[in-house]
Amino acid sequence: MTSTEPGLPEGTRPTRQRRAVVAALGRQDEFRSAQEIHEVLREEGDRVGLATVYRTLQALAAGEDVDVLRGEDGETRYRLCSGSHHHHLVCRDCGRAVEVEGPAVERWADAVAREHGFDEVSHTVELVGRCGDCRPG
C-alpha cells in the first residue's frame, strides 16, 4: 500500500521538489511546459532540477492528475485538471484558457466510434480562437 500525499504522483515519496512542482503547477491558470514550471520555481528561488521537473510532470500525467497538451512549438504542456472530463477553449493571442464541458461531443465521439467498429475510444478536443480582450479594433 503506497500512502502518497494528495496531489503528488501516486506511489512516490513526498519530497520537497515534488511538492514544489505540484504547488507551482497548481498556481498556474493555463497550461505550462516543464521548462516554464522550472522557470517559475527558479524565480521563486526554489531550486529544482529541470530533469526533476520533467520526471514529476511525467509521473503526474501517468496518474492522470494533469491534462496534457502538445503545443505547436513541440513543447508538452501540463495543467492540473479538476477531475471531470472537459475540454479547453484557448485564446491564440494571450493564451487564456477556459474549461468547457461538452456532453454533446462525448456522445458524438462514442457514436462515431461505434459506427466504425472502434472500441475504447478517448477523444481530444481543442478549441483555439481569439478572446474578447485580444480582438483588434
Partner DNA sequence: GTTTCTGCAAAACCTTTGCAGCTAG
Partner DNA sequence: CTAGCTGCAAAGGTTTTGCAGAAAC
Q: Report the distance separating Cα 137 and Cα 128, nearest Å.
A: 20
Give the contact letters, 71-110, x = binds to a copy of itself (CB under 8 A), - = no.
Answer: -x-x--------------x-x------x-x-x-xx--xx-
The yes or no reply on residue 76 touching DNA (CB under 7 A) is yes
Contact 64, 102 (CB under 8 A): no
Which span sits near DNA by CB under 7 A: 55-63, 91-99, 102-110, 119-127?
A: 55-63
Give the contact letters, 32-51, x = binds to DNA (CB under 7 A), - = no.
Answer: -xxx-----------xxxxx
Residue 15 partner contact from a copy of itself, DNA, none using kind-dependent CB cut-offs of 5 to 8 Å: DNA
Q: Report the distance separating Cα 137 and Cα 126, nearest Å.
A: 26
The yes or no reply on residue 95 touching DNA (CB under 7 A) is no
Cell of 78: 501540463
Q: Report the distance separating Cα 45 and Cα 48, nearest Å.
A: 9
Contact 20, 60 (CB under 8 A): no
- Exactly one of 23, 28, 30, 58 binds DNA (CB under 7 A); that residue is 58
Point out which residues bind DNA (CB under 7 A): 12-18, 33-35, 47-52, 54-56, 58, 73-76
